[in-house]
């Protein structure tokens, strides 16, 4: 029997499968899947690299900052230790601690001011305690005016009396357990200060800035706040508030209990609120009849050849007193000028500064003179001694005639609004030129400050 080998036909029928039997659509999907996987792997790797770099940089920065902070702390400690050692060495050479040479005190002041520019508050606190314990900050010894104590928290030893720190800059100060009897903090900048469980007694804080300060479980007695600013100060939690001098103090929106305001505790010791701005914005009754000029009527040095209260600008000028035409209205004496003369007197208005700075002050200036060549002047100065207003009265007031048998004429004005920041006025009067040979008389020169309006 003959057998034949079978061979497939040359033409194979085509189907939907080709290229190893994978459909075209599935092949495209597989390609996209591989591409996505590759991209995810690349992104994961890239993310890991970025994360690793960031972590490495953060670790490096943390280490660097720690190193820098550690170095800073060591430098601070070194500065502090060096200062303490230097001052201690100086003090060891002094035998009389109550009578230290001024040059030594100046040297200590200079070192202290310099080092305080570079020290943290915790070291500043320790230096203050160190200087106090070495008896350098009591009784006017060491002058640290202008030193920066901002944010320093002072926890006092058993006693901290007679502390002497006038004119320091000490915002956000905190005093804890401080017995500040007879302390002097005049003109200190103590905004936002807190006095906690402390005593302020027989102390002086004249012209200090204590705005927004708090007094918590604290005794405030017989303390001089004359001219201080206590805007929005809070006394409500203070233990005792009695017998304090609030003359010319700004107490706008300050908080007191009724008993504190009246000086009541077990007994009553009243406060002095003269010329003060009260919490409701009004001013304590001001004596509008008070003449701020000394010897404006010539009676204090009557018949004296030389006047000591009024001064002449040149030695060859003279001011004397004499009776005016036997007119008893002018008192025993009037000022008399017989040659060209210029006379002056300085008036300090610090006792009215809050009234002035709230634009509530009215000035009244009047003076009498007998001859047409007479004049009066007011030179008005700011708190920095800069002249910022000038009033000249070369002629009698309009519509006025000679007064009292035509012996004198009235000069000046009844109402003038003082500029804000006014602190001093220099009053001048005199005669520049004599057209006829006779004497000029002056009398009843007055300067008064009144309140312009009621808030």
- Give yes or no for a contact between 366 and 443, defined as CB atoms under 8 angstroms apart: no
Condensed to tens digits (0 to 9), the pLDDT of residues 9-48 reads 555 455 444 445 557 777 777 777 777 887 778 778 777 7
Higher pLDDT among residues 314 and 346, named by residue: 346
User: pLDDT by residue (tens digit) across 126-156?
Assistant: 999 999 988 888 877 889 999 999 999 999 8
pTM of the full structure: 0.75
> What's the CA gap between 103 and 82, in Å, rounded?
20
For 372-407, give one letter per residue: b (16+ CB within 10 A) or e: ebbbbbbbbbeeeeeeeeebebeebeeeeeebeeeb
145-285 matches 311-451 in fold = no
Indicate the CATH number of 311-451 among 2.60.40, 3.30.720, 2.30.29, 2.60.120.
2.60.120
For residue 358, pLDDT beyond 70: yes
Instruction: Find which of 357-361, 424-428, 432-436 is predicted with most confidence, using mean pLDDT.
Output: 424-428
Spell out the domain ranges in the chain. Answer: 58-133, 145-285, 311-451
The per-residue pLDDT of the chain, averaged, comes to 85
For 155, other C-beta atoms within 10 Å of its C-beta total: 12
Neighbours of 327 (CB within 10 A): 16
**DSSP letters for 358-374:** TT-EEEEEEEEESSTTE
- Identify the CATH class of 145-285: mainly beta
User: Average pLDDT for residues 390-395, to the nearest whole number?
Assistant: 94
- In whole angstroms, give the CA distance from residue 215 to residue 197: 8
- Residues above pLDDT 70, as percent of the chain: 86
**In sequence order, what DSSP letters do the residues of 350-419 get, joined into one string?**
GGGHHHHHTT-EEEEEEEEESSTTEEEEEEEEETTS-EEEEEEE-SPPTT---BTTTTBEEEEEEEEEPP
């Amino acid at each position: 029997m003959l057998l034949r080998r079978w061979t497939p036909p040359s033409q194979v029928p085509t189907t939907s499968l080709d290229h190893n039997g994978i459909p075209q659509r599935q092949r495209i999907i597989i390609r996209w899947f591989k591409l996505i996987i590759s991209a995810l792997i690349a992104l994961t790797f890239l993310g890991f690299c970025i994360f690793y770099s960031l972590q490495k940089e953060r670790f490096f920065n943390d280490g660097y900052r720690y190193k820098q902070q550690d170095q800073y702390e060591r430098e601070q400690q070194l500065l502090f230790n060096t200062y303490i050692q230097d001052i201690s060495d100086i003090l060891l050479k002094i035998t009389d601690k109550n009578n230290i040479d001024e040059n030594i005190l100046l040297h200590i002041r200079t070192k202290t001011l310099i080092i305080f520019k570079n020290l943290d508050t915790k070291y500043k606190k320790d230096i203050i305690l160190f200087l106090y314990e070495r008896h350098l900050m009591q009784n006017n010894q060491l002058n640290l005016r202008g030193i920066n104590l901002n944010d320093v928290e002072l926890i006092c030893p058993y006693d901290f009396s007679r502390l002497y720190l006038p004119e320091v800059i000490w915002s956000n100060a905190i005093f804890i357990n401080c017995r500040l009897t007879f302390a002097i903090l005049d003109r200190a900048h103590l905004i936002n200060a807190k006095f906690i469980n402390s005593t302020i007694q027989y102390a002086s804080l004249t012209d200090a800035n204590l705005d927004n300060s708090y007094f918590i479980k604290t005794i405030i007695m017989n303390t001089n706040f004359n001219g201080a600013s206590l805007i929005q100060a809070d006394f409500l939690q203070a233990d005792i508030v009695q017998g304090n001098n609030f003359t010319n103090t700004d107490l706008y929106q300050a908080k007191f209990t009724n008993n504190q305001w009246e000086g009541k505790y077990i007994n009553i010791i009243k406060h002095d609120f003269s010329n003060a701005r009260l919490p409701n914005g009004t001013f304590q009754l001001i004596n509008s009849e008070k003449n701020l000029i000394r010897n404006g009527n010539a009676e204090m040095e009557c018949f004296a050849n030389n006047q000591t209260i009024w001064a002449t600008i040149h030695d060859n000028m003279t001011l004397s007193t004499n009776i005016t035409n036997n007119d008893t209205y002018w008192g025993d004496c009037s000022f008399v000028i017989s040659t060209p003369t210029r006379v002056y007197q300085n008036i300090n208005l610090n006792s009215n500064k809050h009234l002035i700075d709230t634009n509530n002050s009215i000035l009244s200036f009047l003076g009498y003179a007998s001859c047409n060549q007479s004049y009066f002047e007011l030179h008005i100065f700011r708190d920095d001694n800069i002249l910022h207003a000038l009033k000249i009265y070369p002629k009698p007031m309009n519509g006025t005639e000679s007064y009292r048998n035509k012996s004198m004429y009235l000069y000046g004005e009844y109402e003038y609004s003082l500029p804000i920041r006014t602190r001093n006025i220099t009053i001048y009067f005199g005669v520049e030129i004599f057209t006829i040979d006779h004497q000029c008389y002056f009398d009843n020169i007055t300067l008064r400050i009144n309140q312009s309006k009621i808030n």
